[in-house]
Amino acid sequence: MPKKPTTKEEPPRPIGVFDSGVGGLTVVAELRKLLPNESIFYIGDTARVPYGGKSQATIERYSQELAGLLLAERAKVIVVACNTASALAVQSLEETLRVPVIGVIRPGAEAAVKATRNGKVGVIGTRATVFSKAYERAIEALDDEIEVIAEPCPMFVPLIEEGWLDDEVTNRVIARYLEKLLRAGVDTIVLGCTHYPLLRAAIQRFVGPDVALVDSAQNTAIAVQKTLKQHKLAAPKTKHPSKLQVALTDPSTAFLRVAEEALGLGVGEVLPRAVQK
Of residues 90 and 237, which shows the higher confidence score?
A: 90
Of residues 191 and 194, which shows the higher confidence score?
A: 191
Judged by average pLDDT, the poorest of 69-73, 128-132, 216-220, 265-269 is 265-269
| Stretch 185-190: mean pLDDT | 98
How does residue 157 score in pLDDT terms, banded at 50, 70 and 90?
confident
| Mean model confidence pLDDT for the chain | 92
**Annotated catalytic, 82?**
yes
C-beta neighbour count of 54 within 10 angstroms: 18
Assign 225 to helix, strand or coil. helix
Regarding beta strands 77-80 and 101-102, do their DSSP bridges make them parallel or antiparallel, or are they unpaired? parallel
Residue among 22, 82, 121, 146 flagged as catalytic? 82
| Stretch 222-229: mean pLDDT | 96
What pLDDT score does 11 carry?
A: 76
DSSP symbols for 95-139: HH-SS-EE-SHHHHHHHHHHH-SSSEEEEEE-HHHHHHTHHHHHH
Query: CB-hemisphere CA count at 13 Å for 212?
Result: 16
Residues 57-85 pLDDT 10s:
999 999 999 999 999 999 999 999 999 99
Instruction: Look up the pTM and report it.
Output: 0.89
- pLDDT of 4 higher than 60: no
Q: Looking at the domain covering 105-215, what would its CATH class be? A: alpha beta
Q: Looking at the domain covering 15-104+218-272, what would its CATH class be? A: alpha beta
Q: In what order do the strands lie in the sheet with 244-248?
A: 101-102, 77-80, 15-19, 40-44, 244-248, 270-272
| Stretch 6-23: mean pLDDT | 82
∠ CA 218-272-45, rounded to 5° = 45
How does residue 22 score in pLDDT terms, banded at 50, 70 and 90?
confident
Going from N- to C-terminal start, the domains of the chain cover: 15-104+218-272, 105-215
- pLDDT of 3 higher than 80: no
**Annotated catalytic, 153?**
no
Judged by average pLDDT, the poorest of 83-97, 99-113, 153-167 is 153-167
How does residue 8 score in pLDDT terms, banded at 50, 70 and 90?
low
Cα dist from 213 to 3, 114, 203, 249, 254, whole Å? 61, 12, 9, 31, 25
How does residue 263 score in pLDDT terms, banded at 50, 70 and 90?
confident
| Stretch 224-228: mean pLDDT | 97
Residues 88-99 pLDDT 10s:
999 999 999 999
Residue among 85, 181, 193, 198 flagged as catalytic? 193
What pLDDT score does 269 carry?
A: 86
What pLDDT score does 7 carry?
A: 53
- pLDDT of 240 higher than 80: no
